[in-house]
Amino acid sequence: MMTLPKGPDSLCFDKDEFMKDDFDVDKFVADCRKRVQLEEMREDLEQYYRLLKTAMVELINKDYADFVNLSTNLVGMDKALNQLSVPLGQLREEVLSLRSSVNEVIEAIDTQLSKQDDIQKKKLCVLRLIQVVRSVEKIEKILHQNTKDTTSLETSSPLLAGQILERIATEFNQLQFHAVQSKGMPLLDKVRPRIAGITAMLQQSLEGLLIQGLQTSNIDIVRHCLRTYATIDKTRDAEALVGQVLVKPYMDEVIVEQFVKSNPNGLKMMYAKLLEFVPHHCRLLREVTGGAISSDKADIVPGYDFLVNSVWPEIIRGVEERVLSLFNPGNPDAFYERYTVSMDFVRKFERQCGSQASVKRLRAHPCYQSFQNKWNLPVYFQLRFKEIAGSLENAISDGLEAAPAGSSYHLQVTEVLWSCVCRCWADQVYLPPLAHRFWKLTLQLITRYTTFLTEVLTKTPPPETSKDSIRPLPSSASSTSSRTSQDADSETGIGSKMVTDPNDATWLSICSRSGFMKFCHPSTVLIAAISTCLEKEHTKRM
Domain end, chosen from 218, 233, 248, is at 233
Are 60 and 117 members of one domain? no
Are 400 and 518 members of one domain? yes
State the Cα angle at 45 between 42 and 50, rounded to 5°. Answer: 125
Per-residue buried b or exposed e for 204-219, using 16+ beta carbons within 10 Å of the residue's own CB: ebbbebbebbbeeebe
| Cα–Cα distance for residue pair 207/217, rounded to 1 Å | 15
Are 498 and 510 members of one domain? yes
Are 26 and 164 members of one domain? no
Q: Which of 29-43, 207-221, 450-464 has the lowest mean pLDDT?
A: 450-464
Q: Which residue has the higher pLDDT, 333 or 232?
A: 333
Contact criterion met (CB below 8 Å) for 332 and 383: yes
Domain end, chosen from 178, 199, 233, is at 233
Examine residue 106 and state whether it is found in any structural domain, yes or no: no
Are 207 and 328 members of one domain? no
* Residue 161, pLDDT score: 66
Nearest residue to 281 via CA among 303, 254, 257: 254
| Phi–psi pair at 474, nearest 5 degrees | -65, 140
**Mean pLDDT value of segment 262-272:** 91
Examine residue 382 and state whether it is found in any structural domain, yes or no: no
For the cut 90, the answer to whether the pLDDT of residue 296 exceeds it is no
Give residue-wise pLDDT tens across range 101-120: 999 999 999 999 999 999 99
Are 36 and 166 members of one domain? no
Q: Which of 12-26, 233-247, 407-421 has the lowest mean pLDDT?
A: 12-26
* Residue 5, pLDDT score: 81
Are 414 and 537 members of one domain? yes
Examine residue 1 and state whether it is found in any structural domain, yes or no: no
* Residue 419, pLDDT score: 94
Q: Which of 55-69, 289-303, 503-517 has the lowest mean pLDDT?
A: 503-517
For the cut 70, the answer to whether the pLDDT of residue 410 exceeds it is yes
Examine residue 95 and state whether it is found in any structural domain, yes or no: no
Number of domains observed in the structure of the chain = 4
Give residue-wise pLDDT tens across range 167-191: 777 778 778 787 777 777 777 777 7
Are 298 and 207 members of one domain? no
Q: How far apart are the first and last CA of the chain?
A: 108
Examine residue 325 and state whether it is found in any structural domain, yes or no: yes
Are 412 and 439 members of one domain? yes
| Cα–Cα distance for residue pair 157/216, rounded to 1 Å | 13
Are 215 and 296 members of one domain? no
| Cα–Cα distance for residue pair 51/8, rounded to 1 Å | 10
Q: Which residue has the higher pLDDT, 353 or 494?
A: 353
Q: Which residue has the higher pLDDT, 395 or 150?
A: 395
pLDDT band for position 509 (50/70/90)?
very low
pLDDT band for position 519 (50/70/90)?
very low
Please give the C-alpha separations between residue 396 and each of 65, 159, 420, 444, in angstroms, as whole numbers: 129, 79, 13, 14
Examine residue 86 and state whether it is found in any structural domain, yes or no: no
Long-range contacts of 343-350, Cβ-Cβ distance < 8 Å, separation of 24 or more: 344/271, 345/271, 345/274, 345/275, 346/371, 348/271, 348/275, 349/274, 349/275, 349/278, 349/307, 349/312, 349/315
Domain end, chosen from 206, 233, 260, is at 233
* Residue 464, pLDDT score: 55
Nearest residue to 434 via CA among 367, 388, 501: 388
For the cut 80, the answer to whether the pLDDT of residue 85 exceeds it is yes
Please state, rounded to an integer, the average pLDDT across all residues of the chain: 79
Give residue-wise pLDDT tens across range 17-36: 888 888 889 998 888 888 88
Are 137 and 65 members of one domain? no
Domain region containing 422: 392-541
Examine residue 44 and state whether it is found in any structural domain, yes or no: yes
* Residue 11: how many other CB atoms lie within 10 Å: 18
Are 36 and 147 members of one domain? no
pLDDT band for position 518 (50/70/90)?
very low
Examine residue 525 and state whether it is found in any structural domain, yes or no: yes
